[in-house]
């Protein structure tokens, strides 16, 4: 058994509220097939072990027990790393529903095969795709969304996209916004908060002005650009 699997999974209700829904976010582990420059090494790698099925099943049982005990419906959000890389991911989401977890939501980088996403739809209430320009392929991603939006039409499953707005990708962002709007997919533009190198400066150099807005100043520390710079895309929303 690996050290990761030997540890109990912590279960926290980050949004404890006096309402009828228990919201739980479950990070399935760091394993990810991308290596985004703005993502902390604490969040992703290509070598971390997967959680064992035994631990997953125990955790699902525990979550279902908590929901019953509190007399609440549960909304379970699965994150990572990349959750679909777990070899038991499809089994996990099917079991979550069977055990009475009412709503299951996953966030993915969209890099898996179309058939993996199609197979998961029956067990998910929402898939949020976070699109990462450093590793994604724009047209492949949009084709995937076309297929999946078609597949969920008339069902209760919804799709959403979070576009990570990388400097230099303003034209691609605008193109994707137009296509996703036509498809009726919910879209959020996400401002990137880059990592800093130990030698000083950003891990990925800032590309001044490449968002399509002229910049007279250096970027503020902690971000490539100001949140207000995203206003350049407002007419497309």
| Binding region for ligand SF4 (CB under 6 A) | 32, 34-36, 39, 43-44, 80-82, 109, 132
Cβ pair 83, 89 in contact under 8 A: yes
Output the smallest distance, CB 200 to ligand SF4, in A.
23
Q: Which is nearer to ligand SF4, 23 or 30 (CB)?
A: 30
- The residue among 166 and 180 lying less far from ligand SF4, judged by its C-beta, is 166
For residue 114, which phi and psi values (nearest 5 degrees)? -50, -40
For residue 36, the minimal CB distance to ligand SF4 (Å) is 3
DSSP state, 83? G
Q: Which is nearer to ligand SF4, 21 or 112 (CB)?
A: 112
**Residue of 217, 169, 220 whose CA lies nearest to 194:** 220
Asked if 116 contacts 64 with a C-beta cutoff of 8 angstroms, the reply is no
User: Closest approach of Cβ 50 to ligand SF4, in Å?
Assistant: 15
27 or 149, CB closer to ligand SF4?
Answer: 27
Q: How far apart are CA 141 and CA 149, in angstroms?
A: 12
Please say whether the beta carbons of 1 and 52 come within 8 A.
Answer: yes
Closer residue to ligand SF4 in complex, CB, 32/185? 32
Nearest residue to ligand SF4 on Cβ basis: 39
Shortest CB 80 distance to ligand SF4, Å = 6
Characterise 200 by phi-psi region: left (phi > 0), alpha (psi -120 to 50), beta (else): left
For the CB of residue 164, give the shortest distance to ligand SF4 in the complex, in Å. Answer: 7
Q: How many helices (H) and strands (E) does the chain have?
A: 6, 6
């Amino acid at each position: 058994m690996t050290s990761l699997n030997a540890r109990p999974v912590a279960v926290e209700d980050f949004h404890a509220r006096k309402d009828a829904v228990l919201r739980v976010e479950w990070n399935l582990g760091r394993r990810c097939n991308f290596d985004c420059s703005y993502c902390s090494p604490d969040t992703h790698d290509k070598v971390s072990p997967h959680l064992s099925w035994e631990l997953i099943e125990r955790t699902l049982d525990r979550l279902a027990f908590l929901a019953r005990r509190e007399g609440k419906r549960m909304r379970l959000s699965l994150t990572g790393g990349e959750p679909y890389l777990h070899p038991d991911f499809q089994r996990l989401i099917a079991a979550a529903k069977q055990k009475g977890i009412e709503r299951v939501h996953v966030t993915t980088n969209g890099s898996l095969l179309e058939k993996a996403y199609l197979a998961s739809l029956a067990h998910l209430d929402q898939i949020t795709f976070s699109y990462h320009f450093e590793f994604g392929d724009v047209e492949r991603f949009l084709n995937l969304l076309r297929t999946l939006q078609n597949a969920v039409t008339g069902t209760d499953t919804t799709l959403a996209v979070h576009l990570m707005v990388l400097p230099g990708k303003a034209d691609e962002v605008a193109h994707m916004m137009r296509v996703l709007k036509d498809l009726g997919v919910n879209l959020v533009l996400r401002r990137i908060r880059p990592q800093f190198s130990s030698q000083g400066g950003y891990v990925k150099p800032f590309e001044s002005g490449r968002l399509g807005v002229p910049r007279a100043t250096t970027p503020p520390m902690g971000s490539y650009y100001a949140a207000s710079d995203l206003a350049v895309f407002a007419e497309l929303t």
